[in-house]
Amino acid sequence: MRVNGVAHPPPQDPRRLLSDHLRHDLGLTGTHVGCEHGVCGCCTVLLDGAAVRSCLMLAVQAEGHEVTTVEGLARDDGPLHAVQQAFHECHGLQCGFCTPGFVMSVVGLLAQHPNPTAQEIEEGIAGNLCRCTGYASIRRAVARAAELSAQ
Amino acid sequence: MTTRWFGAPVQRVEDDRLLRGHGRFTDDIDGGALECCFVRSPYAHARITSIDVAAAREVRGVVAVYTAADLPFGGVDLPLLIPHPNLTHGRTQRCLASEVVRYAGEAVAFVVAESRYVAEDAAELVHVEYEALPVVITPEAAARAENLVHDDVPGNVAAEMLQEVGDVAAALAVAPHRKTLHFRYERGAASPMEGRAVWARWSEAERKLTVYDSTQSPTSIRGGLAVLFGLPESSVEVIAPDVGGGFGPKIMLFYPDELLVPFAAMQLGRPVKWTEDRQEHFTAVNQERGQVHEVEVGFDDEGRVLALGDDFIHDGGAYTPYGIILPIITAAQVPGPYRIPSYRVRFRDVYTNATPTSPYRGAGRPHACFVMERTLDAIAAELSLDRVEVRRRNLIQPDQFPYDVGVAWQDGNTVVYDSGNYPELLDRALEKLGPRPPGDHVGMGLAIYVEGTGVGPYEGAHVQVLVSGKVIAATGIPSQGQAHATVWAQVVADELGVDVKDVEVTSGDTRRFSWGVGTFASRGAVTAGNAMHIAARMVATKAKHIAADHLEANADDLELVDGRVRVKGSPDRGIPLGAVAVLSNPVRYAFGGGTEAATQFAGKPRPGPPLQDGEQPGLEATGYYSPPGSTWASGCHAAYVRVDPKTFRLEILKYVVVHDCGRVINPLVLQGQIEGGVAQGIGGAFYERLAYDADGQLRNASFMEFLIPYATEIPPIEIDHIETPSPLNPLGVKGAGEAGVIPVGAVIASAIDEALGIPITEMPLSPLRLFELTR
């Protein structure tokens, strides 16, 4: 599988979840695990460009696919990705634990809907739980991310 | 001063690493750590007849399996954090149970292995035999005491407390109207998105224990571990790194893992890590909110409350590790923003066979607010008066502060409100709420609340100007998303006249600041915020004193602006703060420049020794703030809701908040706290109910069934503020962390009550429950 553009061998343990593989074998700890049963969305990554739950996949199922994690959105020494920048400007995060999952979901959403309506924003983030913000600032961040992406 | 940071909507300085996926949460720390899994009791109440770990120990990759018998502290009861004279029958659990388990989820054995996968495999092979015992699961059943949770606790009563202000019996006897009311609040759960986690390493060479803990109180964890393991505190480091939400239950002192992980690391000579999974979080982490209230209220023809008696049962759970803080807070907060001439409150804190309770955001207050607000609604209904008018007639007036409620507060003092303007909150909320939307089954809800915030005993802060001119600051209390690194930087930057980006704050790391209490009870801004202010002011004073010699000016004539100490009115006569830091240390720095100014061969050396009496090297200071009493924040929430009469789906048409937490440090951060709090309140009011069955099994221990709201359930929240500064602290601030949650249950209940025309006396609700109540 390729992760953030780099080829990696599959894990030795066929039971290994993709989320655990990313975090503990590849050291990409930006992908978080909040519930391990596919509800919270903290572990969201892009699989061939579409947002998926990495806790609901075995790592071996990602063989032959391109995985993008939050670490793959912006160079460490470069500016933030538009979605990351928008979350910062709109105070779209507090503890930051759900944030990578939201960011990846929103990247996936904007790929489908570059100019999302309020309804599309609502539905686009309705697969991710946040316990800190109450979502208002995240809604604002998605709208702002669409603006920044268009620039 | 050119810029004032305090009060400005400064964007957060901690965002960048979190957004890039470079945050550092406890489970992100590896270091070759062994991983662990608990064996937990499936029974809510049972006698353990045998534990067999032989098969588990045989599993390839298992390093150790611990039961109580394997622990030097296996027979020690865990600490009772806050003893109280009325807590006559306090009980705490042991690290691992070996005789009786008293809630489903209580830890029995602990497996350490090369990986979590192996540890879970082995945990399944630990064979524990149980003999089931009768289960006590509701507060009412606990009070009936047909069965006992602890053999030696008669009546299941851990504590009983009675307080009375005025003469309730006499006032009720002559009151024109009397009403008895019954209210019930069930358990909910804080459910931070990150569960709990602990990582520990023992260095034999340094004889040093390092612990990373997803805790709200690293300083207290450090103190406890030092005592337990017989180490000086200086040999124990506890760090709360990035913490993925707390909301109360991440401060407990101690969860079993907080002892077992460091113990295993010391025994095994390797780093050890335990990360909770979501299912165990539901039963292993403390919960809250279960209470049953019997109210008797007397009032006059105008709806003025003359006397209020409240007798309530608090569901304490299986143990009382946190003492009786929760029912004490409830008892203190029932009167809220209202004048109650005679008030009597009695509570019994009872044991049940459920997870222990400790504060969850709101901590005893949502129930208190619910009881008072529903009582006022009942008075309005009885007298056919407007609910708003009844509240207006009972509110404490702005000229009545300080206002002494006369009952006990959690800090040991009595409740005295320091400042506020409650009628203004109500007026503004109604104005913002506007006219009622058209349509059927629409209801209006309203609640006003107060919140005791900023409890002591104290917090401290260390502030230092580096020779680079940058500033570092540290405090003991950790952040779980409250933007400490930003708001403390604002406070410090103002005192030192520097840019907020030049202040780097560390919080929750005992290596940087080893004294403190914790992040809880909406206390951070008041306690640590003022400590930062005090420490930064001490540094500013020191900087002026040092620069005065150098600038040949009087310290009183100096000011700190734009990173320089300069003479007021002569901005060109100044010296950079970094150079003052050099001067503060009478040796030369090899790097960083400025040595020519600090050398003893400089133009005008001071007479006398380089460090004179009372002077200390370094441009730094440590300051502490200890509040004389709590600061009392307040607010009014109002909403319009629509309830579908067939599906009982709840639609919140409009939700407004008017909030007063004194002076606001950062309105952006405050808005986030309020919005998030209201969302958590809406979850707790209509979606999140911990469903225990009669056997004490939690039937909805997953996010599939315990329904935390998604964005689709949370409406936009309209927020307005008033500022009545607290007279109790230098910054004039009050806490804001819990405010959003407190009145939501009362607001939603009041609105649904009106929308459907049925009396709502319980929380939480759900579509199913509304269906049942309308049948």
Global ipTM: 0.98
Q: Which residues contact B30 (CB under 8 A, 6 or more apart)?
A: A24, A27, B273
Q: Domain of B211: which CATH number?
A: 3.90.1170.50
Whether pLDDT at B243 is above 90: yes
B210 in A contact zone (CB under 8 Å): no
pLDDT tens string B276-301: 999 999 999 999 999 999 999 999 99
Q: Specify which residues B185 forms β-bridges with.
A: B291, B763
Q: How many domains does chain B have?
A: 3
Pair B351, B478 in one domain: no
Contacts of A139 in chain B (CB under 8 A): 711
Quote the pLDDT of residue B595: 66
Pair B277, B302 in one domain: no
Specify if B706 maps to a domain.
Answer: yes
A17 in B contact zone (CB under 8 Å): no
Banded model confidence at residue B489, pLDDT cuts 50, 70, 90: very high
Domain boundaries, chain A: 2-72, 82-150
**What type of residue is B186?**
E
Identify the DSSP state of B518. Answer: -
Residues of chain B with pLDDT > 70, as a percent, come to 97
pLDDT tens string B584-597: 987 656 566 666 66
Cα(B453)–Cα(B358) distance, rounded to whole angstroms?
17
Q: Specify which residues B345 forms β-bridges with.
A: B163, B310
Quote the pLDDT of residue B605: 65
CB within 8 Å: A94 and B22? no
pLDDT tens string B450-476: 999 999 999 999 999 999 999 999 999
Architecture of domain A2-72: Roll (3.10)
Residues of chain B with pLDDT > 90, as a percent, come to 93
CA distance A139 to chain B (A): 8
Cα(B68)–Cα(A19) distance, rounded to whole angstroms?
33
The sheet with strand B127-132 has its strands ordered as B100-101, B46-52, B127-132
Contacts of A89 in chain B (CB under 8 A): 11
Pair B685, B741 in one domain: yes
- Tell me, rounded to whole angstroms, the distance of Cα B578 from its chain centroid: 37
Quote the pLDDT of residue B1: 43
| Cβ–Cβ under 8 Å, residues A70 and A46 | no
Quote the pLDDT of residue B609: 81
pLDDT tens string B613-640: 888 999 999 999 999 999 999 999 999 9
Contacts of B19 in chain A (CB under 8 A): 70, 80, 84, 87-88, 93, 96, 99-100, 103
B719 in A contact zone (CB under 8 Å): no
* B254 preceded by a cis bond (ω within 30 of 0): yes
The residue written with tokens 């109450």 in the block is A134
Banded model confidence at residue B612, pLDDT cuts 50, 70, 90: confident
Q: Which residues contact B9 (CB under 8 A, 6 or more apart)?
A: B666, B667, B668
Pair B342, B488 in one domain: no
Pair B475, B556 in one domain: yes
CB within 8 Å: A30 and B714? no
Whether pLDDT at A81 is above 80: yes
Specify if B756 maps to a domain.
Answer: yes
Pair B757, B640 in one domain: yes
The sheet with strand B305-317 has its strands ordered as B157-165, B342-351, B305-317, B291-299, B177-185, B762-763
Banded model confidence at residue B111, pLDDT cuts 50, 70, 90: very high
Pair B362, B438 in one domain: yes
> What dihedral do alpha carbons B292, B298, B299, B305 form, nearest 10°?
-60
Cα(B646)–Cα(B771) distance, rounded to whole angstroms?
8
B278 in A contact zone (CB under 8 Å): yes
The partner residue sitting opposite A96, judged by closest CB among B23, B278, B279, is B23
The residue written with tokens 């504590």 in the block is B159
Topology adopted by domain A82-150 = DNA polymerase; domain 1 (1.10.150)
Contacts of B710 in chain A (CB under 8 A): 125-129, 135
Pair B636, B741 in one domain: yes
Specify if B183 maps to a domain.
Answer: no
pLDDT tens string B520-535: 999 999 999 999 999 9
Quote the pLDDT of residue B598: 63
Specify if B160 maps to a domain.
Answer: no
pLDDT tens string B435-452: 999 999 999 999 999 999
pLDDT tens string B659-696: 999 999 999 999 999 999 999 999 999 999 999 999 99
Structural domain boundaries, residue B77: 31-133+196-243+250-284
pLDDT tens string B311-350: 999 999 999 999 999 999 999 999 999 999 999 999 999 9
Pair B720, B762 in one domain: yes
